[in-house]
């Protein structure tokens, strides 16, 4: 079984990565187990946590992630491809790589989000950080799938 991690942030670029994987899944030699992940930036810290319950904050993160993941889950379901889905909070690149390791994924499929080389170096895209942090192969999907 080949496990593949697909980060989904709600952008059309990340959906292109999902569509690409749907088209190419038959080309893999082994059956594919797809893991979708949405990583939410931590927004509640410091004094905010004194006024909002931990449960409310966790529910907000979970509900936000599920909303973002739903279109990708729908595409995979329509294609008859089962998937697992994960909601996480943290720095996106580090969290994606950590989850991929924890789930024993053999590949990460994601979009570079269309940043040019200079922009990517200046702004530091998530995909660039994933490439640097991951010992797992990363497949970047550019353009429409």
User: What's the pLDDT score for residue 119?
Assistant: 47
Structural domains of the chain sorted by starting position, each given as residue range(s) with its CATH number in brackets: 2-140 (3.40.50.620)
Rounded CA separation 87/40 (Å)? 8
DSSP bridge partners of 5:
35, 108
User: What's the pLDDT score for residue 89?
Assistant: 95
Residue 25 pLDDT greater than 50, yes or no: yes
pLDDT digits (tens, 9 = 90+) for 79-121: 999 999 999 999 999 999 999 999 999 999 999 875 445 545 4
Q: What is the mean pLDDT of residues 17-29?
A: 92
Percent helix, percent strand, percent coil in the chain, to nearest 5:
50, 20, 30
User: What's the pLDDT score for residue 32?
Assistant: 93
User: What's the pLDDT score for residue 81?
Assistant: 94
Rounded CA separation 100/7 (Å)? 10
Q: Which run of H or E residues covers position 133?
A: helix 126-133
CA-based max dimension of the chain: 52
- Are the C-beta atoms of 8 and 65 separated by less than 8 Å? no
Half-sphere exposure of 127 (CA within 13 A, CB side): 24
Rounded CA separation 100/95 (Å)? 8
Banded pLDDT at 122 (limits 50, 70, 90) = very low
| pTM, entire model | 0.87
- Two structure tokens written together for 60: 């907000």
The CA-based angle 62-64-69, given to 5 degrees, is: 90
Residue 135 pLDDT greater than 60, yes or no: yes
Rounded CA separation 61/59 (Å)? 5
User: What's the pLDDT score for residue 29?
Assistant: 87
Secondary structure (3-state) at 128: helix
Residue 123 pLDDT greater than 80, yes or no: no
User: What's the pLDDT score for residue 48?
Assistant: 66
User: What's the pLDDT score for residue 49?
Assistant: 64
pLDDT digits (tens, 9 = 90+) for 29-66: 889 999 999 999 887 666 666 678 878 888 999 999 99
């Amino acid at each position: 079984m080949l496990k593949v991690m697909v980060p989904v942030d709600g952008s059309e670029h990340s959906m292109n990565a999902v569509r690409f994987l749907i088209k190419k899944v038959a080309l893999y030699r082994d059956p594919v187990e797809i893991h979708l992940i949405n990583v939410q930036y931590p927004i509640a810290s410091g004094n905010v946590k004194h006024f909002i319950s931990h449960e409310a904050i966790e529910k907000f993160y979970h509900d936000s992630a599920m909303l973002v993941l739903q279109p990708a889950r729908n595409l995979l379901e329509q294609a008859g491809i089962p998937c697992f889905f994960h909601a996480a909070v943290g720095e996106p690149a580090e969290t994606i790589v950590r989850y991929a390791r924890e789930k024993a994924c053999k590949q990460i499929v994601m979009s570079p989000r269309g940043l040019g080389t200079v922009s990517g170096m200046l702004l530091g895209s998530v995909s660039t950080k994933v490439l640097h942090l991951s010992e797992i192969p990363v497949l970047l999907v550019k353009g429409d799938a």
